[in-house]
Structure 1
């Protein structure tokens, strides 16, 4: 029995990055031997075991063969005669197909270290094209390591393009796709993830609504970058730079989908794109079964982001309606995420990344004023039920009018 550290732990150590998750592969062992040593089995499809003390995952060396469509369409074979090289060749990228023993002696049959030094993401073997999930994984790695200068190898991008055109991406489950998408959006440069997907034709297959934004112009006076797709990438970039949570990043990606529906004769204006985009945002939300908080914020930002930008001009009554729509009294955090999404949208414009956004503090102040209206005096006046709600609304409106006048 030989045990090797494999994959990301080896890659990140060689890059000088912190190692978080460690995967191990066991060569020359049987499942019974692992059980005898106290390892606990967890793999349903192939033999994976948890270490009796550390809880880390140890997988028996295995080979795989394509047997059906999609991510799950594989038959695995694990036995003591499977070599380390045979196990490593089934991995996605050369930089993930290295192993080291307990003395840090490197096993690198597919030149992963060379590609690390050249800053290239390259597939290990033609079998890469058998797993459609790898298109998303490579784009995610591109987003993670873009800051270090990594790019996708031309021949790997071509394989990704073939996979995108094959229809195999449609076999991915919503859960698997969302896991990769959500992880990619939380990388340092999530806009690179979207760009790589677009470069290989996968964006058109997975999110045609986002892909449709590229080539659609906006008024240059407001959007010096002009292209709606480029703007979306810039907004996502700003969200990452400002370390926003997943909910905000997802909303930033989807906020302008309505612009992809504007008839060409109306370009570069996009009247009512906030409303036309809602059905598209809903469709993308449902396609990937995004978590409820991501879905809700994306729809609200899509519908109201232009309200956010015009906050200083809004009538007190419109401002109150906006606050009510977000239920700022019970869900203050959701409104805060809306405010920062609007700010990222404003900053995601060429040359305007550093411009101040006074609307943010104005909206926060308005929410604070509305929340500050006390209910008790109204109860003491005898208001109850629907009448109490109306009275509370009147008092909040009065408070917001005063807030506007004093700004």
Structure 2
């Protein structure tokens, strides 16, 4: 029995990056031998065990063979005869196909260290094309390591194009796709993830609504970058630079989907793009079974982001409707995330990345003014039921009018 540290732990150590998860592979062992040493089995499809003390995962060396379409369409074979090299060749990228023994001796049969130095994401073998999820994984690694100068090797990008054209991407489950998408959006350069998917033609398969934004012009006065797709990538980049949560990043990616539906003879104007965008936002949310908090914020930001930009001009009644839409009384955090998404949208424009966004504090102040209206005096006046609700609305409207007068330019 020989035990090796494999995959990301080896890669990140060589890159000088923090090592978070450690994967182990065991060569020359049987299931019975692992159980005899106190390991606990957890793998349903192939033999994976938890270490009796550390709880880390140890997998028996295995080979795999494509048996049907999709991510789960593989037959695995684990036995003491499977070599370390045979186990490593089934992995996605050369930089993930290295192993290290207890003495720190590196096993690198597919030149992963060389690709680390060359800053290349390269597939290990032609078997890469058997797993459609790898298109998303490579794009995610490109986003993770973009700061270090990594790019996708041309021959790997070509394989990804072939996978995109094959129909295999449609076989991915919503859960697996969302897991990769959500992880990629939380990387330092999430816009690289979207760009790589576009470069290999996977974006138009997975998110045609986002792909449709590229090449769509916007008024240069507001959008010096002009192209709506380029703007979307810039907004996503700003969200990452400002360390926004996943909810905000997802909303940033989808906020302008309505512009992809504007008739060409209306370009570069996009009248009512906020309302037009709601149907494609719902479609993409449902396709990937996106968590509810991400779904809700994406829809609200899509519908109201231009209200955010025009906050200082809004009538008190419109301002109140906006605040009510976000349920600021019970869900204050969601309104904060809306403000953040609006600010990222304003900054995601060529040459305007450092602009101030006074609308943010103005909207916070308006929310506080509305929240400050007390219910108790109205109850004491005898209001109840629908009449109480209307009286409360009128008092909040009065408070917002006073707030607007105090902050008039």
TM range (shorter): over 0.9
Aligned partner of residue 225 in structure 1, secondary structure: coil
Deviation at 1:392, TM superposition (A): 0.5
2:30 aligned partner: 30
The Cα shift of 1:120 comes to 0.3
Structure 2 residue aligned with 1:63: 63
Structure-to-structure mapping, 1:79-118, within 5 angstroms = 79-118=79-118
Structure 2 distance, partners of 1:328, 1:23, is 44
| 1:46 aligned counterpart, secondary structure | coil
Determine the C-alpha separation between the residues in 1 that align with 2:353 and 2:166: 39
Q: Does 1:350 align with 2:344?
A: no
Distance 1:12 1:294 in 2: 30
Paired positions, count: 407
Structure 1 residue 394: Cα displacement: 0.4
Partner of 1:392: 392
> Secondary structure, in 3 states, of the residue corresponding to 1:308?
helix
Residue 329 of structure 1 and its aligned partner are, at CA, apart by 0.2
Q: Which residue of 2 aligns with 1:150?
A: 150
Q: CA deviation at 1:189?
A: 0.2
Q: 5+ unaligned residues in a row in structure 1: which ranges?
A: none
CA distance in 1, matches of 2:131, 2:179: 16
By how many angstroms is 1:389 displaced? Answer: 0.6
TM-score normalised by L of structure 2: 0.99
C-alpha displacement of 1:60: 0.2
1:122-151 CA-partner distances (Å, limit 9, x unpaired): 000000000000000000000000000000
- The answer to whether residue 291 in structure 2 is matched with residue 291 in structure 1 is yes
Give CA-to-partner distance per residue, 1:367-402, whole Å, 9 cap, x none: 111111111111111111111110100000000000
Distance 1:255 1:164 in 2: 25
Deviation at 1:14, TM superposition (A): 0.2
SS in 2 for 1:356: coil
Q: In the TM superposition, what is the alpha-carbon distance from 1:63 to its structure 2 partner?
A: 0.1
- Give the alignment of 1:156-195 within 5 angstroms: 156-195=156-195
Q: Distance in 2 between matches of 1:103 and 1:70?
A: 38
Matches within 5 A, 1:120-159: 120-159=120-159
CA RMSD of aligned residues (A): 0.3
Task: Show the 5 A alignment for 1:324-363.
Answer: 324-363=324-363
For residues 163-216 of structure 1, the C-alpha deviation after alignment (integer angstroms, 9 at most, x for no partner) is: 000000000000000000000000000000000000000000000000000000
Who is 2:229 aligned against? 229
Give the 3-state SS of the residue equivalent to 1:76 in structure 2.
Answer: strand
Runs (4 or more) in structure 1 with deviation over 4 Å come to none
Within 2, Cα distance between the matches of 1:202 and 1:76? 27
1:290 Cα shift?
0.3
**What residue in structure 2 maps to residue 203 of structure 1?**
203
Alignment match, 1:383: 383
Residue 268 (structure 2) pairs with residue 263 (structure 1): no
Distance 1:39 1:396 in 2: 63
Secondary structure of the 1:64 match is strand
SS at match of 1:402: helix
1:250 alignment counterpart: 250
Measure, in 2, the Cα distance between the counterparts of 1:171 and 1:137: 16
SS, match of residue 318 in structure 1: helix
Distance in 1, Cα, partners of 2:55 & 2:358: 50
The answer to whether 1:300 aligns with 2:338 is: no
Q: How many angstroms does 1:332 deviate by?
A: 0.2
Scaled by the length of structure 1, the TM-score of the pair is 1.00
The answer for unaligned runs of 5 or more in structure 2 is none
Distance, in Å, in 2 between the alignment partners of 1:166 and 1:368 is 53
Partner SS, residue 143 of structure 2: helix
* 1:280 counterpart residue number: 280
Once the two structures are superposed, the pairs formed by residues 40-79 of structure 1 within 5 Å of their partners are 40-79=40-79
Q: CA deviation at 1:248?
A: 0.2
Deviation at 1:277, TM superposition (A): 0.6
